[in-house]
């Protein structure tokens, strides 16, 4: 028990806070990206906004060097997780255990495929709660994720001291 309590203290110092310029540029870029998706949703035929895209903006604009923030991870992580949610929904329906199974499968398969994107883990729950059709994997998921990445490519690379992506 003493060893467990010792581990719970943590052993590392708290990371430093972001600078104001970095925090503000992250906020502005997130505003532009989500605003674009929301505007396209309002003016278009198909929805392009997912709740998990807000968390994707945290990684994409706040930590663009992270492996979780790379284009392949964002697009394939979101799409794979949504497809898993849709498959489990079709095969098992909505139950406490099917929701847990969908999340677990999503995480395991993103890890195995090398496309881990933590915000995408919530897509399976979004699917279970909304119970959409298969088109949900295309819009808002795939198209919205692609638009996030394109926005990231433009906004991050406009900054002199930044480069995105690190890899495809």
Residue 127 in contact with residue 86, Cβ under 8 Å? Answer: yes
- pLDDT string in tens for the chain (168-residue length): 888 888 888 888 988 999 999 999 999 999 999 999 999 999 998 899 999 999 999 999 999 999 999 999 999 999 999 999 999 999 999 999 999 999 999 999 999 999 999 999 999 999 999 999 999 999 999 999 999 999 999 999 999 999 999 999
State the residue range of the domain holding 69. 22-157
- The verdict on residue 100 lying in a domain is yes
The pair of structure tokens assigned to 121 is 């883990």
DSSP state of 98: H
- Kindly give, in sequence order, each residue whose CB lies less than 8 Å from that of residue 63, ignoring residues fewer than 6 positions away: 69
Residue 89 in contact with residue 128, Cβ under 8 Å? Answer: yes
Is the peptide bond preceding residue 140 cis, with omega within 30 degrees of 0? yes
Q: Which residue has the tokens 């139950």?
A: 95
Task: State the pTM of this model.
Answer: 0.94
Total domain count for the chain? 1
- The verdict on residue 2 lying in a domain is no
């Amino acid at each position: 028990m003493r060893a467990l309590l010792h581990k719970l203290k943590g052993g590392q110092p708290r990371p430093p806070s972001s600078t104001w310029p970095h925090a503000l540029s992250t906020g502005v870029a997130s505003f532009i990206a989500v605003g674009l998706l929301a505007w396209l949703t309002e003016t278009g035929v198909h929805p392009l906004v997912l709740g998990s895209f807000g968390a994707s903006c945290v990684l994409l604009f706040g930590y663009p060097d992270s492996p979780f923030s790379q284009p392949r991870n964002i697009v394939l992580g979101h799409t794979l997780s949504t497809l898993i949610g849709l498959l489990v929904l079709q095969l098992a329906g909505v139950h406490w255990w099917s929701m847990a199974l969908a999340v677990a499968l999503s995480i395991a398969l993103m890890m195995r495929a090398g496309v881990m994107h933590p915000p995408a883990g919530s897509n399976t729950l979004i699917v279970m709660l909304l119970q959409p059709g298969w088109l949900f994997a295309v819009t808002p998921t795939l198209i919205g994720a692609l638009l996030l990445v394109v926005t990231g490519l433009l906004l991050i690379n406009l900054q002199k001291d930044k480069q995105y992506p690190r890899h495809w």
